[in-house]
Amino acid sequence: MSKIAVLGYGVVGSGVVELFYKNKESILKKIGKDADIKYILDIRDFPDSPYRDKFTRDINDIVNDKEVTIVAECMGGATFAYDFVKACLQNGKNVSTSNKELVAKKGAELLAIAKEKNCNFFFEASVGGAIPIIRPLHKCLAANEISQIAGILNGTTNFILGKMINESMDFDAALKMAQELGYAEKDPTADVEGHDACRKICILSSLITGKHIYPDNVYTKGITDISLKDVKLAEKFGAAVKLIASVRKLENGRIIPMVMPMLVPYDNLMSRVDDVFNAVMVCGDGIDKAMFYGRGAGMLPTASAVLGDVIEQLKNEENGTDLAQSWVDCDNSEILADYKENECRMYFRVSGISEADLENAEIIDNGEEVAFVTARMSIAKSDEFAKSVELRGGSVKSKIAVLDI
Amino acid sequence: MSKIAVLGYGVVGSGVVELFYKNKESILKKIGKDADIKYILDIRDFPDSPYRDKFTRDINDIVNDKEVTIVAECMGGATFAYDFVKACLQNGKNVSTSNKELVAKKGAELLAIAKEKNCNFFFEASVGGAIPIIRPLHKCLAANEISQIAGILNGTTNFILGKMINESMDFDAALKMAQELGYAEKDPTADVEGHDACRKICILSSLITGKHIYPDNVYTKGITDISLKDVKLAEKFGAAVKLIASVRKLENGRIIPMVMPMLVPYDNLMSRVDDVFNAVMVCGDGIDKAMFYGRGAGMLPTASAVLGDVIEQLKNEENGTDLAQSWVDCDNSEILADYKENECRMYFRVSGISEADLENAEIIDNGEEVAFVTARMSIAKSDEFAKSVELRGGSVKSKIAVLDI
C-alpha cells in the first residue's frame, strides 16, 4: 500500500486530510490501488482529532519510512518547509506542495534534487489555489509559444478592490473588513504590497522560460496607493482596477515579469473576476488566449490541488519523474528586460494642467483635476511624461497602467 | 525517431502540421527526443504544399508503419474516421483526436480497444477546442466529487446570440452573418439545434460517470426559437441568453445531461463569454467552482489541443497507457434521470393573463405580454404551470430555464 505524509496541519494540511477521507473511495478507484495517509507532521497536539494516531513531530519518521512515497507539504514559509522538503526529496520521496514562497525562492534547487533522485516535485497548488494552471500550462498548452500571462493571483487584494469598486469603501475600511473575515492577515503586507502575487508570477515565469526567476527580479507594486477616486474614474473609463501579476515576452525573447495595480478594461473577462476569486489569462501562438478561473486560496480548494498532484503521483508511481514543469538556476539576467520597457496605455490623474495641454489622450474627467488615458507608450516614456507635467507646474496624483492582453 | 501521422488535411489537420513545424524546436525540447510528421492522410492532392511528400491516400501506409507511434485524427465524422482510428488502435498506435462526434458515439469502444492494445486514446481537442478541460478535469480535479458542469460549448451559437444581444440583430440575420464569416456551415443544423454541444456534454458526462453517455441520452434543444424579444427581456432581468450544455449530479447519484438555451445571470462569469469563445464551469466539493475559457474552435486553437496530446504521448512513450480519462459501454439507464427532474428558476413570456395571477414570480415586464421569472421548480412543474396558464386562457410565448451553478 502506498502511504502519504502530510506536513503541517493548518488550513491547507487539514483540508488535504479532510478531502482525502471524504472522497477516499473514488480517489482510490482513480489511483487503481490502495493508499492511505500514514503521517501528519505538526508541532501542535490534536488529541481530539480522529487522526491523532497519525501525528508526529519528527520529520525523520517520514523521511526514514520506506512506505511513504509521497509527501504533501502544507506548512508554508521557506525555512522549515525548505529543510523538510529537501530531506524528503533527498530520500527519494515525491513531494506535492502548496507553498508558493518555497517554490519561488527554492524551486530550481528542489527540482534539481528531485531530478537527481528520480522523483517528482509537484506544485500545482502554489499558483491559483484550486485553479488548474501548472499542469495545463506545461502539458495541454505545450505546443504553444507563450507570449504573455496576466493574472489576478491574490484573493485578498481582489476582495479589497472589489469592496472599493462595488461598495465605494475606501482602502482602509476594505482592508479591515478583509481582516475581520479572515481573508487578510493581521500584518497584511505580503498581500497588499504584492509580494504574494509576485511569488506566483515568479513560478509561472520560471515555467515558461526554463530559468528560475526570483522575487528580486520582479518589479512589484501593491495596492496601498489606490484611491477610491481612481477606482471611480477607472469605472468611467470602462475598466476595473485589479492587482495584476504578469509576464510578457518581448520580440527579442526577453521577458518582463511584474506586479502592479492595473486598469482592466471591461471587455477583458478578468475585469469581472470578483471577490476572492483568482484568474489567469494565458496567450500563446496556437490558442490565442485562454483563461482559468477559480478559488485562489482556502482550505478545500487548495487541498484539491495538492491532492490532485498526490493522486497523479500514486497513479503513475512506476513511471518515474515528470519534470517537464522544471527550470534551472542560472544567470537569468540575459532573459530579463527592465519593466520600464513594457508598453501599455497609461491612466493619469493630474492637477494644475489643463485638458488643452494633452495631445492624443482620452479625457475621462475634467474637473478640478484632469483624468485621462494616454496612447500606448513604454513605462519609461510615461515617467518622462509625468516629469513634463511637473515641469509645467502640474502635479501627478496617480498613474496606473492599462492592461493589454 | 518517433513518427507522427495526421489524418485529414482540412482546417484542423493543416493547423496541426503548421503549428508543429512553427514550434518544432521547443516542442522537441519538451518531448526530449527527435520526432517528425511522417504521413498526412487525405484523399485530395496538395501538389504545392511544402509537405507534399508526406501525403498518402492509404491508411494502411500508416497502420503498417512501425515507426508511427501516434496518430492525430482530424477528419471529423464517425464513418471513415471511426474505421481508421479503430485500425490504428488495433495496431497499437496511440491516437489523439479532435473529433467530438467520434468520441461521443464510439468513445467507449475505442477506449476499450486502446486499453486492450496498451495504447492511449486522447481527445483533449474534442471539447472546448483550445481550452484545457479533459486533462484538468480528470487529473487536476481528481480529488473532487464533480456535482455539476455547465458550459458554452458551441462558438457558432454563442456568436449568433452575441449579435442578438449586443447588436439587436434577429436570429436569421445573425445566422447569415455567421455563415458569411465562416463560423456557421451552409447547413447550420448541428450547431443551432444543439447537436454539437450535445456531443461535448456526452463526453464530459461520460468522463465524470465512467459510463458512456450517448447523444440519445441527452435532452437537446437549440436556439432557433429564441426571439430578440426574449433576449431583451433577459437583459432587463440581468441575464444573457446562452446555449448551455450541462450535466448535474442529483443527490441520488443520477445525472441529468442536457442542452438548452438558458438565461445566465450577469453575476455568473459565463454571461460575459462573448463572440465565438467557449467556457466550461465545473463544480466540485473541493474546488467549489472553476471555469475554463478560450477559443472553442478554429485552426490553430484546435491544433494546439491535438498537439498537446501528441507531445504528452511522445514524452511518456515508455510509460504505457493513461486511461484514467476512460469510460465503459454499459447499461447507463440506472444513472440517468429525466431532464424534467432538473430544478431551476424559469423565465416565462405569456399573453392573456395578468400580473395579479402570478404568485412568487419576479415580474420583468408587464405590457401587452407579461414576462416573469418563477421561483425554483422542476422543469416538470414548470410544464404544469405552462399548462395552467393555457387553461386560464393565456398563451405561453416562451419559457427558458435560468442557469443555476
User: pLDDT by residue (tens digit) across A298-322?
Assistant: 999 999 999 999 999 999 887 766 7
pLDDT at A354: 83
Per CB-CB distance under 8 Å, the chain A contacts of B145 are: 23, 26
Nearest to B308 among A143, A285, A289 (CB): A143
What mean pLDDT do residues A274-297 have? 97
pLDDT at B323: 60
Nearest to B304 among A26, A130, A286 (CB): A286
**A130 and B316: CB-CB below 8 Å?**
no
**A294 and B303: CB-CB below 8 Å?**
no
A residues 311-330 closer than 8 Å to B (CB): 311-312, 315-316, 319-320, 322, 324
Per CB-CB distance under 8 Å, the chain A contacts of B310 are: 143
Q: Which of A188, A95, A208 is nearest to A148 (CA)?
A: A208
Q: Which of A76, A79, A97, A121 is nearest to A327 (CA)?
A: A121
Question: Which chain A residue is nearest to residue B208, measuring alpha carbons?
Answer: A26
C-alpha cell at B156: 457558432
CB-based contact, A264 to chain B, within 8 Å: no
Nearest to B301 among A136, A142, A286 (CB): A286
C-alpha cell at B164: 442578438
**B272 and A269: CB-CB below 8 Å?**
yes
Per CB-CB distance under 8 Å, the chain A contacts of B291 are: 291-294
**B324 and A315: CB-CB below 8 Å?**
yes
The whole-angstrom distance between B24's CA and the closest CA on chain A is: 9
**A304 and B315: CB-CB below 8 Å?**
no
Q: Are B305 and B156 in contact (CB under 8 A)?
A: no
**B322 and A304: CB-CB below 8 Å?**
no
pLDDT at A355: 80
Give pLDDT tens digits for A55-97. 999 999 999 999 999 999 999 999 999 999 999 999 999 999 9
The whole-angstrom distance between A310's CA and the closest CA on chain B is: 9
pLDDT at B324: 58
**Most B CBs within 10 Å, among A98, A144, A272, A321, to test the B interface:** A144
Tell me which of A200, A242, A249, A399 is the catalytic residue. A200
For residue A323, is pLDDT > 70?
A: no
Phi and psi dihedrals of A112, rounded to 5? -65, -40
CB-based contact, B140 to chain A, within 8 Å: yes
Tell me which of B200, B211, B242, B249 is the catalytic residue. B200
The yes-or-no answer on residue A229 being catalytic is no
**Most B CBs within 10 Å, among A289, A304, A318, to test the B interface:** A304
Give the confidence band of A161 by pLDDT, cuts at 50, 70, 90. Answer: very high
Nearest to A287 among B284, B304, B320 (CB): B304
CB-based contact, B212 to chain A, within 8 Å: no
The whole-angstrom distance between A16's CA and the closest CA on chain B is: 9
**B308 and A135: CB-CB below 8 Å?**
no
Per CB-CB distance under 8 Å, the chain B contacts of A269 are: 269, 272-273, 293
C-alpha cell at A142: 505545450
Question: What number of C-beta contacts closer than 8 Å exist between A and B?
Answer: 176
pLDDT at A151: 98
pLDDT at A31: 92
pLDDT at A134: 96
Per CB-CB distance under 8 Å, the chain A contacts of B136 are: 132, 135-136, 140
CB-based contact, B303 to chain A, within 8 Å: yes
**B140 and A140: CB-CB below 8 Å?**
no
Q: Are A188 and A175 in contact (CB under 8 A)?
A: yes
SS3 at position A246 = strand
B residues 119-138 closer than 8 Å to A (CB): 124, 130-132, 135-136, 138
CB-based contact, A280 to chain B, within 8 Å: no
pLDDT at B151: 98
Nearest to B294 among A23, A285, A289 (CB): A289
Per CB-CB distance under 8 Å, the chain B contacts of A145 are: 23, 26
Mean pLDDT of chain A: 95
CB-based contact, A96 to chain B, within 8 Å: no
Phi and psi dihedrals of A379, rounded to 5? -65, -35
Nearest to A145 among B26, B130, B311 (CB): B26
Cα–Cα distances in angstroms (integers) from residue B86 to residues A401, B71, B97, in the given order: 54, 11, 12
Mean pLDDT by 10 residues, chain B (405 residues): 96 98 96 96 96 97 97 97 98 97 97 94 96 95 97 98 96 96 94 98 97 97 97 97 98 96 97 97 98 96 97 85 77 94 96 83 91 96 95 95 96
Q: Are A339 and A216 in contact (CB under 8 A)?
A: no
Per CB-CB distance under 8 Å, the chain A contacts of B311 are: 139, 142-143
Q: Are A163 and A169 in contact (CB under 8 A)?
A: yes
CA-CA distance, B230 to B239, in Å (whole number)? 11
Q: Which of B332, B370, B365, B366 is nearest to B349 (CA)?
A: B370
CB-based contact, A295 to chain B, within 8 Å: yes
Phi and psi dihedrals of B200, rounded to 5? -70, -40
**A26 and B289: CB-CB below 8 Å?**
no
Question: ipTM greater than 0.90, yes or no?
Answer: yes
User: Hey, what amino acid is at B341?
Assistant: E
pLDDT at A320: 66
B residues 4-23 closer than 8 Å to A (CB): 19-20, 22-23
C-alpha cell at B181: 464569416
Nearest to B286 among A140, A143, A300 (CB): A300
pLDDT at A300: 97
What mean pLDDT do residues A28-47 have? 95
pLDDT at A163: 97
Residues in CB range of B38: below 8 A, 6 or more apart: B3, B4, B5, B54, B65, B67, B68
Per CB-CB distance under 8 Å, the chain A contacts of B20 are: 143
pLDDT at B57: 97
Per CB-CB distance under 8 Å, the chain B contacts of A30 are: 138, 142, 324
C-alpha cell at A33: 490501488
Angle (CA) B356-B357-B362 rounded to 5° is: 75
